[in-house]
Amino acid sequence: MKKLGTGIACLLTASLLCGCSGPASVIKSYSDTALNTTSLIINTNTSDDYDFFAKDLVIFPKSSTVSVSETEETSSSETDETLETDESSETKSTTKETTEETETTAAETEDEEADIDAETGLLAGTSTLTGVYGKAVYDRVYPASVTKIMTALITLEKANFSDKVIFTEDMVVDEYGAKLCGFEVGDELTVEQLFYGLLIYSGNDAANALAIHIGGSIDGFAAMMNQEAKNLGCVDTHFVNPSGLHDSDHYTSAYDLYLIFDACLKYDKFHETIRQTSYDIKYKDAAGETIETTYETTNQYFLDVYDYPDSVRVMGGKTGTTDEAGSCLILYDEDKKGNGYVSVILGAVDSQELYAEMNILLNKIPK
């Protein structure tokens, strides 16, 4: 995969996708186009100019499941077949050595070739801009609390982390089973504390508090989320709340989450936060009493519930789970050379499958 160039004739592409020669106000979904190996989806904005979404990121083919190396491997195998007769004697002399090497790497090869069972998955490089693996990356799915990376991005862009926030009645989350930091009306917190509660503990009350502080209301903040998604070129995304609590009109795709997560990774504060295994918080309640507690991460790699491959280092990420979305996880990873990758699994049946399938993706990172 390669980056899109910047010298493409935008208006010609606009005519191709939108059926007009002038600016359009609607972003056309990737899944509705006939394009294959590259994307020419248009990200419209307030200007009359067209930008191509993800022009600085990896573009995946439209096919449902793809390993980028497949094309290269096919080409290589065809070349090898033409040389097979001439090199047969040399091949026989090295058969024993090759067999031994194959035995030692059999498990790794199996992981590299394995496909995932989850609804959708993606692995793409941020340093190398290489698409490694994709399954249904443009399908619209429910993201659960992975939604909170967009809430985090807007907080990073719009909020002052030292600002005080008084927890109000409209910030309360009363949905049964929702994960909560435990904030009550009258509690006084900082944006920074809420940010940690959002990303480390995945508190839905922290999400609501940030949304109302920044956007004035949940609906107002959702509008900001959707505008930011549009700015990033997320053509298969629509948010209705800052937390990811289920709503049939709240959806995204693995590829759009990759775009949002990549934007978050530009902030040191984001890196610092997603790497934490826990967070100690101290704040005042309505009566002026000090509340102290510790929030543990929801990332089960960091809690040593599951192990990830030795060939990579998981730097942090965001989890999400609802009955409708299944088990979800997006991560920032680095190989031994320090090259960065984003890995996404959405729609796993449970936590065990989620981390097992994430390991399949992590084993696909080039050694």
Predicted confidence (pLDDT) per residue in 290-328, tens digit: 999 999 999 999 999 999 999 999 999 999 999 999 999
- According to CATH, the topology of domain 110-367 is Beta-lactamase (3.40.710)
pLDDT of residue 132: 95
Q: Which of 76, 125, 148 is nearest to 362 (CA)?
A: 125
State the Cα–Cα distance between residues 343 and 129, nearest whole angstrom. Answer: 13
pTM over 0.85: no
Distant-in-sequence, close-in-space partners of 71: CB < 8 Å, separation ≥ 6: none
pLDDT of residue 63: 67
CA angle 56, 58, 63 (to 5 degrees): 145
**103-108 long-range contacts, Cβ below 8 Å, gap at least 24?**
108/363, 108/367
State the Cα–Cα distance between residues 47 and 340, nearest whole angstrom. Answer: 33
pLDDT of residue 81: 44
Structure-derived torsion over alpha carbons of residues 325, 238, 296, 293, reported in degrees to the nearest 10: -130
Q: What is the phi/psi pair of residue 257, to 5°?
A: -65, -35
Residue spans of alpha helices (H) in the chain? 10-18, 69-83, 88-93, 95-113, 148-158, 191-199, 204-215, 218-232, 254-264, 268-274, 351-363
DSSP letter assigned to residue 144: G
Q: Which residues of the chain have pLDDT under 70?
A: 1-55, 63-64, 68-112
Domain with CATH 3.40.710.10 in the chain: 110-367
- Taking only the tens place, the pLDDT of each residue in 319-336 is 999 999 999 999 999 999
Distant-in-sequence, close-in-space partners of 280: CB < 8 Å, separation ≥ 6: 292, 293, 294
181-220 as b/e, with b when 16 or more CB fall inside 10 Å? bebeeebbbbbbbbbbbbbbbbbbbbbbbbbbbbbeebee
Structure-derived torsion over alpha carbons of residues 223, 33, 4, 365, reported in degrees to the nearest 10: 90
Distant-in-sequence, close-in-space partners of 89: CB < 8 Å, separation ≥ 6: none
Around Cβ 7, how many Cβ atoms within 10 Å? Answer: 6
Q: Which of 237, 278, 58, 56 is nearest to 150 (CA)?
A: 237
Q: Which of 329, 322, 199 is nearest to 264 (CA)?
A: 199
**314-317 long-range contacts, Cβ below 8 Å, gap at least 24?**
314/362, 315/271, 315/274, 315/275, 315/340, 316/271, 316/273, 316/274, 316/275, 316/276, 317/261, 317/274
Query: What token pair was written down for 364?
Result: 């696909």
pLDDT of residue 194: 98
State the Cα–Cα distance between residues 94 and 108, nearest whole angstrom. Answer: 21
Q: Which of 31, 56, 58, 27 is nearest to 231 (CA)?
A: 27
Structure-derived torsion over alpha carbons of residues 162, 166, 169, 174, reported in degrees to the nearest 10: 50
Distances in Å between the alpha carbon of 206 and those of 75, 167, 222, 248, 324?
A: 51, 9, 15, 22, 22
Q: Which of 264, 242, 256 is nearest to 198 (CA)?
A: 242
pLDDT of residue 213: 98
Helix or strand or coil: residue 94? Answer: coil
